[in-house]
Amino acid sequence: MIKDKYSSNMFKLAFLSISLLLTSTASISITIPKMQQTFANQSATAVEALVTASNITVMIFVLLSPFIVRVFGTRKTVLTGLFLAGVSGVVPMFSDNYFLVYISRLVLGAGLGMFNSLAVSLINDFWSGDTRNKMLGFQSAVQSVGQTVTTFIAGILVNYNWHYSYSIYFLALVSFILFLVYVPDTTTKDDLVTNEVVEKPKQSINSYVLFSSFGLLISFALLMAVFLKSAGFVVEEKFENASFIGTALSVYTLVGFLGSLLYGYIVKITKQYTFSLSYAIIGISFLIVALAPNMFVITLGMAIGGIGGSVFLPIAFGTILEKAPANSGNLAISIAMVGTNLGTYLSPYLLATLGNLFGNNTSKFSIIIAGVLMLVLAVFYFFIRNIFKQANEVGELQN
C-alpha cells in the first residue's frame, strides 16, 4: 500500500477533525448546577449522571467497533458515528425532559465509541514512517485541544443558558462533512497489501492487566470529581466570579496537553516514581481546589492537577503494554479503556456513596475525599514502584 499518497492538507485536516470531540463528554460538566434547577425532581447524582452516561456506551461501542467495521466498512462506521454524535449531542439544546436528555447522552456515547479507536488505528492505514508518527502526535494534540476548546466554549455559553452549552456537539456535524468530502473509503484494492490470509496470534490477558484496569476504574471515578463537583462547589461557597470556573476547567485540560508534550522528559527524571508522583500531584491539586479562598487559587489548583493528569495515563498504559502477555497489547489496552470509561460512568454514584457514608454530600467534601484517596493511591503505588521501573526504562529508550 502506498500510504503516503494521502498527503493533502485537507485530507489530514478532515481526518484529524474526528478526534475533536473524543474526550468532550466532561466538557458540559459546567452545566450541572443549572441543570439541577431545571431537573429539580431528580437527585444531584442523577443530574451528574447526564455528564457521564455517555461513557458507558462509549465503552460498549469501542468493543463492538471491530465487528461494525467488518459489516459496514470503515468509512461508513466513522460517518455513522459522527452523525449520531452530532444529532444526539445537540438534543439537550431543545429539551427539558430528563429522560430524553439521558437517552441522547447514551446515543452520543455510542456514536463516539464507534470511531474512538479508529481515530488512532486508521493513521497506520493511511500513513507510514515519519508522517505516521507526526500524525499520531497531531491526533493526540487535537484531542486535547478539542477538550480544552469545548470546555471553554461551554463555560461561556452556560452563563446565558445551560442548553446553549450543548451546541459544542455541532462540531461533530462539521467533522462529518469534512470526512464525507475528503476521506475516501479505506477498503479499496489499493489498500490491500496481500491477498494471503494471515493468522493472527491469539491474544490473552493476565492478572496484571486486570489489576491495573481495576485501578484505572477507581482512579477515573475519583478523577472525575473535579469536573463533576467544581461548578457546584463555587456556587455552594458563593465565590465571586463563579462563572470563571469554566475557564479554570479549560486550564486543567490545556496544562494537561502541554504536560503530555513533555512526558518523555518528565519520565526520564522521575523514573519508577512517575506513577505515584502523578497521583500525589492530582491529590494535592484537589485539596488546593477544595480549600481555595478565591477563583485564582482554584485555577492554580486546576493547573497543577493538569500536570499530574497528563502523566498518569501514559505511564499506566505504557506499563500495561509492557506487562501484557506477548502479542496481546491491543486486547490489554481495550480492557484498560473499559476500566477508564466504566470508572467515569460510575463516578457520580461512587461520590454519592462516599458522601452518604460520611454524612456529607457537599461538592467541597466530594473533592476533598477524592483528593485524599488519590494521595492514598500515591502511597500505594510508591510501595510497588519497582513494577514501573522496566516500563520507564523502555520509555526512556524510545524518547
The answer on 239 and 154 residing in a single domain is no
The answer on 211 and 180 residing in a single domain is no
Higher per-residue pLDDT: 393 or 74: 74
Looking at 198, 221, 237, the residue that finishes a domain is 198
- Phi/psi class of residue 73: alpha, beta or left (left: φ > 0; alpha: ψ in -120 to 50)? left
pLDDT band at 168 (very low <50, low <70, confident <90, very high): very high
Q: Which tens digit of pLDDT belongs to each residue from 126-150?
A: 877 777 767 877 887 888 889 889 9
**266 shares a domain with 318:** yes
Q: In which band, very low, low, confident or very high, does the pLDDT at 305 lie, cut at 50, 70 and 90?
A: very high
* Whether the predicted pLDDT of 391 surpasses 70: no
Band (pLDDT 50/70/90 cuts) for residue 201 is low
* Torsion over CA: 258, 166, 103, 225 (sign): positive
Give yes or no: residues 211 and 350 share one domain: yes
User: What's the domain count of the chain?
Assistant: 2
Q: What angle do CA 9, 10, 16 make, to 5 degrees?
A: 90
Check: CB of residue 225 under 8 Å from CB of residue 351.
yes
SS3 content of the chain, % helix, strand, coil (to 5): 80, 0, 20
CATH number for 268: 1.20.1250.20
The sign one gets for the Cα dihedral 92, 148, 311, 204 is positive
Of the spans 177-186, 324-333, 357-366, which averages the highest pLDDT? 357-366
Flag whether pLDDT at 397 surpasses 50. Answer: no
Q: Are residues 193 and 238 in the same domain?
A: no
Q: How many helices, marked H, and strands, marked E, lie in the chain?
A: 17, 0
Question: Do 185 and 97 sit in the same domain of this protein?
Answer: yes
pLDDT of residue 337: 84
Give residue 180's identity as a one-letter amino acid code: L
Domain that holds residue 300: 205-399
Question: Which band of pLDDT confidence, cut at 50, 70 and 90, is reported for residue 188?
Answer: very low
pTM of the complete model: 0.83
- Of 87-91, 136-140, 159-163, 363-367, which range is least confident? 136-140
Q: What confidence score (pLDDT) does residue 189 get?
A: 37
Can you tell me the distance from the alpha carbon of 122 to that of 330, in angstroms, rounded to the nearest whole number? 14
Which of 198, 231, 259 is a domain's end point?
198
Does residue 293 share a domain with residue 152? no
- pLDDT confidence of residue 90: 97
Verify that 300 and 357 share a domain, yes or no: yes
Q: Kindly state the average pLDDT of the residues 316-331.
A: 79
Alpha-carbon 335 to chain mean position: 15
Same domain, 191 and 212: no
Please give the average per-residue pLDDT across 356-372, as a whole number.
96
Residues 358 and 221 in one domain: yes
pLDDT the model gives residue 187? 52
Is the pLDDT at 349 greater than 90? The verdict is yes
Last residue of a domain, one of 166, 198, 230: 198
Look-up: residue for cell 461557597? Answer: 237
Assess whether 222 and 145 both reside in one domain.
Answer: no
Alpha carbon distance 267, 124 (integer Å): 26
Average pLDDT, the chain: 86
Asked whether residue 304 falls in the same domain as residue 387, the answer is yes
Average pLDDT (86-115) is 96
